[in-house]
């Protein structure tokens, strides 16, 4: 016991992280009643990605009526794709109204979580305090630790440098010369917002994304009233959005007619918005559509054509005190560099923190990134441990909340089983291997592995698809929606559990 926070008891569950997944898990525990749980969150508020990504233009690109909890529908979404403040407010409201806040320790950066074989519980250290729990759920996020680009001289830049996920709101950008590195999902949301404000904006692109129109609009007062008064209408919309996104899956399986259809939408969008053939050529992707996330925007291409904005495709050679040196040798003078360069998705830092039964961390257990988990959720050698949105749970198109909710259902059942029986469960290594192989078999020949791009969906060493789920969302739920003890190696010990919990 090293601090007042530590009540010296073995809790039923510790959840790492208070984003969509961690909060959703907590709602399930809270509604269940009897579970004694704690959330350890390193930041000072709930919200995860939606607390951290406050860059101008930040919004979801999956429709809000689907990109939200099924068990907490929100009839008041202001538009089809809600912006970051609205999503964050939704998550704060969830924590408040579901009674979760008292269970959260903020400023609790988990630096160690070790399975204690003697006491058969997890020993967790966060910000100098020690906590113990029978079960551990990592909901630390797959896009929560920003990555800066590996460019020589980056640290020598004397101007302002920050990441899109750690936006520097103190700094007045008006009238400055800004360089934006990265044209992924965040980058293309930022460009139209900055273009209006800054003196000049140089956009550094490594590979061109496919972009299709953003079918966004505000919901009318009448629609919102209808969603509130007749909840089935909101549910019907949610179902419709689910199946719309699900129907975009065949393209991943290289169905030619579907590829042609979606490619032509992207091609037409580019042609109609970018008349200049030279710029259009620079903005034409050189890999198959879907290999990287297909982006949605109506204002990115127009913003690039403003007189104060320039697309740079020559590649970056290095960065010096005053700006960016291009591959061509040209120097671009800058006051600010914004890195919209993504996250440590392939090898999440939390995997170095969690140490299993034989004293090896998850990172050491997985040679090459998140190599796999049974049901995408549990790992051999890590008793009573569950990882939310870990290996093979990402989506190219679809709502991550659906994936998280599937896992929440699974973990809720597993934790109930563990607490009722006093068992310690982990998947058999052979069962895990079989499961992971079945996932990898499904990834072969998909656009992600064969589409000719390099993306964070693949591990750079193994070339394997480790972050993305290579099948339908509905199939994920069918396979991984329910915990079955028969899939697990189990050591019942109710007597010891009763002793520990007393
Ligand atoms: C800008 C942006 C837009 C996105 N848009 C969409 C979208 O439209 N549709 C979609 O499906 N997905 C989208 N995503 C993906 C998004 O990450 C997921 O949808 C979802 O928010 C993930 O929730 P999470 O709870 O797993 O992780 P997060 O929201 O990342 O939360 C993880 C939490 O864990 C905490 N944490 C991490 N490590 C530790 C530690 N060691 N100790 C204590 N706490 C820790 C973090 O502080 C954070 O609060 C987007 C992501 C980003 C970044």
Ligand 1 mean position, distance from CA 22 (Å): 10
- Alpha-carbon distance of 377 to 60, in angstroms, equals 25
Ligand 1 mean position, distance from CA 126 (Å): 19
Q: State residue 403's pLDDT score.
A: 98
Q: State residue 2's pLDDT score.
A: 34
Q: What is the pTM of this model?
A: 0.95
Confidence of residue 451 (pLDDT cuts 50, 70, 90): confident
pLDDT of 253 strictly over 70: no
For ligand 1, what atom is nearest to the CA of residue 126?
Answer: 42
Specify the range with the lowest mean pLDDT, choosing from 47-61, 398-412, 431-445. 431-445
For ligand 1, what atom is nearest to the CA of residue 17?
Answer: 34
Mean pLDDT on 399-404: 98
- Minimum CA distance residue for ligand 1 atom 12: 400
Please choose, from the candidates 313, 342, 308, 67, the residue with its C-alpha nearest in 3D space to the C-alpha of residue 186: 342
Sequence-distant (6+) residues with CB within 8 A of 463 are 449
Mean pLDDT on 448-463: 82
For ligand 1, what atom is nearest to the CA of residue 400?
Answer: 11
pLDDT of 431 strictly over 90: yes
For ligand 1, what atom is nearest to the CA of residue 23?
Answer: 25
Query: Computed from CA positions of residues 446, 452, 456, 461, in that sequence, does the dihedral angle turn out positive or negative?
Result: positive
Mutate to test the pocket of ligand 1, among 19, 103, 403 (most ligand atoms within 8 A of CB): 19
Alpha helices in 98-143 (DSSP H): none
For ligand 1, what atom is nearest to the CA of residue 62?
Answer: 8
Ligand 1 mean position, distance from CA 169 (Å): 20
DSSP secondary structure code for residue 133 in this structure: E
Confidence of residue 491 (pLDDT cuts 50, 70, 90): confident
pLDDT of 3 strictly over 60: no
Helix (H, G, I), strand (E, B) or coil at 132: strand
For ligand 1, what atom is nearest to the CA of residue 49?
Answer: 29
pLDDT of 310 strictly over 70: yes
Specify the range with the lowest mean pLDDT, choosing from 4-18, 122-136, 212-226, 355-369. 4-18
DSSP sequence for 3-46: STT--S-EEEEEEE--SHHHHHHHHHHHHH----EEEE-SSSSS
- Minimum CA distance residue for ligand 1 atom 37: 140
Q: Which two tokens stand for residue 399?
A: 């709502």
pLDDT of 499 strictly over 60: no
Query: Computed from CA positions of residues 180, 182, 185, 188, in that sequence, does the dihedral angle turn out positive or negative?
Result: positive
pLDDT of 496 strictly over 60: no
CA distances from 64 to 120, 235, 358 (A): 41, 12, 43
Ligand 1 mean position, distance from CA 145 (Å): 9
Specify the range with the lowest mean pLDDT, choosing from 32-46, 320-334, 399-413, 488-502. 488-502
Mean pLDDT on 381-397: 94
pLDDT of 456 strictly over 90: no
Are 127 and 108 in contact by the 8 Å Cβ rule? The answer is yes
- Alpha-carbon distance of 111 to 42, in angstroms, equals 10
337-357 burial, b for 16+ CB within 10 Å, e for fewer? bbbbbbbbbbbbebbebbbbb
Are 188 and 208 in contact by the 8 Å Cβ rule? The answer is no
pLDDT of 284 strictly over 80: yes
Specify the range with the lowest mean pLDDT, choosing from 246-250, 409-413, 423-427, 497-501. 497-501
- Ligand 1 pocket (Cβ < 6 Å) reads 16-22, 40-43, 48-49, 53, 58, 60-62, 67, 108-110, 139-141, 143-144, 186, 350, 353, 388-389, 399-400
Specify the range with the lowest mean pLDDT, choosing from 20-29, 147-156, 468-477, 486-495. 486-495
Confidence of residue 214 (pLDDT cuts 50, 70, 90): very high
Helix (H, G, I), strand (E, B) or coil at 67: coil
pLDDT tens, residue by residue, 91-150: 999 999 999 999 999 999 999 999 999 999 999 999 999 999 999 999 999 999 999 999
pLDDT tens, residue by residue, 155-201: 999 999 999 999 999 999 999 999 999 999 999 999 999 999 999 99
Report percent pLDDT > 70 for the chain: 95
Q: State residue 464's pLDDT score.
A: 85
Q: State residue 154's pLDDT score.
A: 97
């Amino acid at each position: 016991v090293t601090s007042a926070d530590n009540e010296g008891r073995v809790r039923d569950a510790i959840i790492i992280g208070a984003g969509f997944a961690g909060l959703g898990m907590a709602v399930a525990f809270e509604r269940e009643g009897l579970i004694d749980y704690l959330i350890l969150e390193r930041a000072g508020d709930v919200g995860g990605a939606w607390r951290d990504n406050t860059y101008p233009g930040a919004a979801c690109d999956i429709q809000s009526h689907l990109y939200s909890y099924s068990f907490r529908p929100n009839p008041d979404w202001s538009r089809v794709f809600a912006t970051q403040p609205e999503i964050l407010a939704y998550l704060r409201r969830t924590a408040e109204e579901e009674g979760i806040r008292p269970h959260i320790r903020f400023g609790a950066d988990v630096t160690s979580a070790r399975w204690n074989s003697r006491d058969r519980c997890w020993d967790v250290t966060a910000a100098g305090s020690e906590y113990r729990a029978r079960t551990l759920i990592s909901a630390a996020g797959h896009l929560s630790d920003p990555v800066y680009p590996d460019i020589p001289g980056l640290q020598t830049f004397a101007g302002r440098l920050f990441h899109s996920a750690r936006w520097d709101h103190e700094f007045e950008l008006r009238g400055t010369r800004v360089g934006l590195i990265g044209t992924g999902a965040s980058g293309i949301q930022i460009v139209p917002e900055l273009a209006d404000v800054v003196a000049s904006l140089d956009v550094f692109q490594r590979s061109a994304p496919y972009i299709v129109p953003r079918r966004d609009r505000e919901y009318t007062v009448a629609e919102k009233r209808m969603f509130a008064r007749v909840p089935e209408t909101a549910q019907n919309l949610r179902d419709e959005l689910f199946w719309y996104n699900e129907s975009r899956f065949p393209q991943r399986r290289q169905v030619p007619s579907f590829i042609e259809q979606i490619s032509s939408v992207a091609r037409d969008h580019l042609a109609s918005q970018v008349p200049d053939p030279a710029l259009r050529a620079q903005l034409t992707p050189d890999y198959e559509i879907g290999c990287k996330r297909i982006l949605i925007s109506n204002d990115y291409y127009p913003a690039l054509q403003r007189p104060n904005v320039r697309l740079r495709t020559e590649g970056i050679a290095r960065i010096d005190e005053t700006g960016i040196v291009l591959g061509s040798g040209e120097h671009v003078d800058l006051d600010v560099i914004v890195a919209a360069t993504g996250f440590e998705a392939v090898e999440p830092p939390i995997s170095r923190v969690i140490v299993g039964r034989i004293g090896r961390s998850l990172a050491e257990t997985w040679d090459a990134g998140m190599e796999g988990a049974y049901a995408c959720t549990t790992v051999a050698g890590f008793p009573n441990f569950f990882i939310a949105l870990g290996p093979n749970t990402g989506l190219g198109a679809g709502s991550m909340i659906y994936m998280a909710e599937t896992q929440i259902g699974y973990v809720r059942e597993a934790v109930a089983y563990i607490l009722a029986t006093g068992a310690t469960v982990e998947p058999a290594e052979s069962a895990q291997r079989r499961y992971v192989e079945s996932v990898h078999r499904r990834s072969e020949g998909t656009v992600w592995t064969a589409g000719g791009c390099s993306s964070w969906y693949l591990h750079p060493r193994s070339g394997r698809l480790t972050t993305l789920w290579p099948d339908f969302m509905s199939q994920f739920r069918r396979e991984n929606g329910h915990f079955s003890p028969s899939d697990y190696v189990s050591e019942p010990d109710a007597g010891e559990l009763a002793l520990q919990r007393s």
